[in-house]
Chains A and B, each alone.
Chain A
Amino acid sequence: KQEVTQIPAALSVPEGENLVLNCSFTDSAIYNLQWFRQDPGKGLTSLLLIQSSQREQTSGRLNASLDKSSGRSTLYIAASQPGDSATYLCAVGYGGSQGNLIFGKGTKLSVKP
């Protein structure tokens, strides 16, 4: 059974730091991997989607990498800002076109001014 683990569970950094969030998965037979952001009391917002054939995706200050063979993904956030404070969730896609996702438990990020 596919399991998705995110380390650390919580992270507090000063504003301006570059940081890395980690995600690992047990079964390398995935279709894609996504990183989501969740603000308190809100739904999820998709940040980056990496297809299984890709190695990385970038959007602004965010860069996500995927290494299927080792079962790992990282989300790199450059020059962190207090507005980046949220919970970041990693999810792996399986089951073909249905888009079914298995989520990690998330990393709660706090960026201090």
Chain B
Amino acid sequence: NAGVTQTPKFRVLKTGQSMTLLCAQDMNHEYMYWYRQDPGMGLRLIHYSVGEGTTAKGEVPDGYNVSRLKKQNFLLGLESAAPSQTSVYFCASSYSGPQQFFGPGTRLTVL
């Protein structure tokens, strides 16, 4: 099993550009999450999903959209990237909630 994978690993964007981060899990987990990790701020929840076709806002959802069209995939979109969105993005999944399995992260820089 690959666990939780994230694509791409690194990305540099210019302000105003758009992109989509892909998270995939092969553990048949119901719950999936997107976090961002910033120096001095810890990890913060952006959006999450409790099942295929569902999404919900987390702590810092502004500027991001998500979709869960397939159970194994959770996409995070930035429609118009801003320098404040420079961060490391982590995806996680879990079967029943508490114990989450994390991907390796995507390092995004917005110039």
Task: List residues of A whose CB falls within 8 A of some B CB.
Answer: 4, 31-32, 34, 36, 41-46, 49, 51, 89, 91, 93, 96-106
Q: Say yes or no for B41: interface residue by CB 8 A criterion.
A: yes
Q: Say yes or no for B94: interface residue by CB 8 A criterion.
A: yes
Contact (Cβ within 8 A) A105 B98: no
Residues of B within 8 A of A42 (CB): 104-105
6 new A-B pairs (CB below 8 Å) besides A49-B98, A93-B98?
A34-B98, A44-B43, A44-B92, A93-B97, A98-B31, A102-B59
- With A43-B102, A43-B103, A45-B102: A103-B42 Cβ-Cβ less than 8 Å: yes
SS class of chain A's interface: helix, strand, loop or mixed?
strand
Task: List residues of B whose CB falls within 8 A of some A CB.
Answer: 4, 31, 33, 40-45, 48, 50, 56, 58-59, 90, 92, 94, 96-105
- With A42-B104, A43-B102, A43-B103: A97-B96 Cβ-Cβ less than 8 Å: yes
Residues of B within 8 A of A104 (CB): 42
Q: Which residue of A lies closest to B101 (CB)?
A: A46
Residues of B within 8 A of A105 (CB): 40-42
Residues of B within 8 A of A45 (CB): 102
7 contacts between A and B (CB under 8 A): A4-B42, A36-B102, A43-B102, A97-B97, A101-B100, A102-B59, A106-B42
Interchain CA distance A44-B48 in the complex, whole Å: 17
What is the distance, in angstroms, from A83's C-beta to the closest C-beta of chain B? 19
Residues of B within 8 A of A46 (CB): 99-101
A43's partner among B42, B48, B97, B104 (CB-CB below 8 A) is: B104
